[in-house]
């Protein structure tokens, strides 16, 4: 991925909308591409915050470990999402673990370079804080309606995977899918059956296929 490709990609991110090409090129010069296999831990809960990540392609799961060591899913992020900005802003340790759920490419920026950009362009800091606020609100909304929206959350996750892999067919086991959503397999089976009855997906052995008109 050369500099011009980085600039073109960054220009498509809502985070950089409205900023000059010169400003975006300064950022592009400071980011580096990393290609990661599935099940790679990018950020571990409790680590020092030293890097910002932008997903170029693929998808990652954000989760918290409870006292029993069980994963509590918080979010699923895809192409163009930003990871790790909150800890860089407040100076705290990482509050969650981030792990790839597909082969994933990310653009990385050091904490030093990130803070330098914030100092040079206060408008960027305001944009970043606005997006952070929206992200926190979305997570809160999912937690409040966690039980009553299981089919909706399942469809949302399937749609993200479909877009990340550029395929309507999802090759995930029910166990993997249930873990990503944070529900039991019986609850997942109920949700998948409901989505199939509603004409949003078709189910067959070892795969789930999204019906194009139903994608969110």
Question: Tens digits of per-residue pLDDT, 33-55?
Answer: 999 999 999 999 888 888 999 99
- Indicate the SS3 state at residue 21: helix
Alpha-carbon distance of 139 to 84, in angstroms, equals: 15
- Residue 174 in contact with residue 185, Cβ under 8 Å? yes
Alpha-carbon distance of 107 to 37, in angstroms, equals: 15
Top pLDDT among 69 and 99 is at 99
Alpha-carbon distance of 151 to 18, in angstroms, equals: 36
Q: What is the dihedral of CA 166, 170, 171, 174, to 10 degrees?
A: 150
Top pLDDT among 91 and 70 is at 70
Alpha-carbon distance of 85 to 94, in angstroms, equals: 10
- Residue 58 in contact with residue 100, Cβ under 8 Å? yes
Alpha-carbon distance of 163 to 57, in angstroms, equals: 10
- Residue 21 in contact with residue 137, Cβ under 8 Å? no
- Burial of residue 136 (CB within 10 Å: 0-12, 13-18, 19+) is exposed
Neighbouring C-beta atoms of residue 63, cutoff 10 Å: 21
Which pLDDT belongs to residue 164? 63
What tokens does 137 get?
């609100």
Structural domains in the chain, CATH included, are 3-144 (2.60.120.10), 150-214 (1.10.10.10)
Per-residue pLDDT band for 31 (boundaries 50, 70, 90) equals very high
pLDDT in tens, 107-155: 999 988 988 888 888 788 777 777 766 666 566 555 555 555 788 878 8
Average pLDDT, the chain: 83
Closest Cα to residue 192, out of 179, 180, 178?
178
């Amino acid at each position: 991925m050369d500099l011009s490709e980085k600039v073109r990609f960054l220009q498509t991110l809502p985070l950089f909308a409205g900023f000059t090409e010169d400003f975006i090129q300064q950022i592009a010069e400071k980011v580096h591409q990393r290609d990661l296999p599935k099940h790679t831990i990018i950020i571990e809960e409790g680590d020092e915050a030293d890097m910002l990540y932008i997903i170029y392609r693929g998808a990652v799961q954000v989760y918290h470990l409870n006292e029993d060591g069980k994963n509590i899913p918080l979010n699923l992020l895809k192409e163009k999402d930003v990871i790790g900005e909150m800890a860089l802003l407040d100076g705290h340790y990482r509050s969650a673990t981030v792990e790839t759920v597909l082969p994933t490419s990310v653009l990385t920026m050091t904490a030093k370079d990130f803070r330098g950009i914030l100092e040079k362009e206060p408008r960027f800091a305001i944009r970043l804080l606005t997006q952070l606020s929206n992200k926190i609100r979305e997570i809160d909304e999912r937690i409040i309606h966690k039980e009553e929206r299981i089919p909706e959350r399942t469809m949302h996750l399937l749609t993200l995977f479909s877009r990340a892999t550029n395929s309507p067919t999802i090759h995930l086991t029910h166990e993997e899918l249930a873990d990503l959503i944070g529900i039991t397999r019986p609850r997942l089976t109920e949700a998948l059956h409901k989505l199939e009855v509603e004409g949003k997906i078709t189910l067959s052995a070892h795969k789930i296929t999204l019906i194009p008109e139903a994608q969110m």
